[in-house]
Copies of this chain bind each other. A is one copy, B any other.
Amino acid sequence: MNYKILIAYDGTKYNGWQIQRSSQNTIQGKISDVLTKLAGVQTDVIGSGRTDAGVHALAQCANFVMPDRFDNEIFIMDYLNKYLPEDISVLSIEKADSKFHARFSAVSKTYRYRIHTSNIKDVFQRKYVYTYLDKKLNVNLMRQAAEKLIGTYDFKAFCGNPHFKKSSVRTITSIDIKESEFEISIDFTGDGFLQNMVRILTGTLIEVGNGNIKPSQISEIINSKDRQLAGFTAPACGLALVKVEY
């Protein structure tokens, strides 16, 4: 039976979602370990996509196949929540069609980047925001720049992996920037994102907000396909995967 789950995690102490040869300290690895223990056979978990080391998720989506004798999804979810570490939580579970694949079936993803803009730290949110105090950010300019990023483009200039060989064409459908007294949050929705892409998009928007880059330069940066022309890579801690649509 194929199961679909939604997972929240505090990514602070993990080397990202994806199991790697060099490190076992991944969210995917932790979930796979618990399921393997339950099922008695190696059970792999497919995520909607990777999140970088230190990046969080409010609702990552994943699927896995369990032997047929496990037909009680609430039992599986309770077992996961009992044995997963305190910074990983399964929010929901449902039986899925055997064709459902968390990565290939995904239609769009939304990531949220949170920028804390006050020198009064929020001690309870400090691990989930990026504190930026350098210069006051002009949110109107950031919104103008965001407009230029919406659409289908080759986002190679915003890819953190210089050796990436596959197509770097992606579609961004919306960038929603919200401002409150001490925080600017940016929701990026698209069909998929390249490695570090949301963090580089955020760094670029921050550099627009502080005057380093003009909104009118965005199209030029996209067209250049040159990572050097885009902004800095904003820190992982401010980023969270918030929704995957199927």
* A contact set with B: CB distance below 8 Å: 8-10, 56, 78, 81-82, 86-91, 119-124, 126, 128
Contacts and interface: CB of A to CB of B under 8 A. Distances in A.
Contacts of A120: 81, 89-91
A124 B8 contact: yes
Contacts of A90: 120
Contacts of A121: 81, 86, 89
Nearest to A86: B126
B78 A119 contact: yes
Number of chain copies forming the complex:
2
Contact of A123 (B10, B82, B122): B10
B78 A123 contact: no
A120 B7 CA distance: 10
Contacts of A89: 120-123
A134 to B, nearest CB: 14
Given A8-B122, A87-B126, 11 more contacts: A8-B123, A9-B123, A10-B124, A10-B126, A56-B124, A78-B119, A82-B119, A86-B126, A89-B123, A90-B120, A91-B120
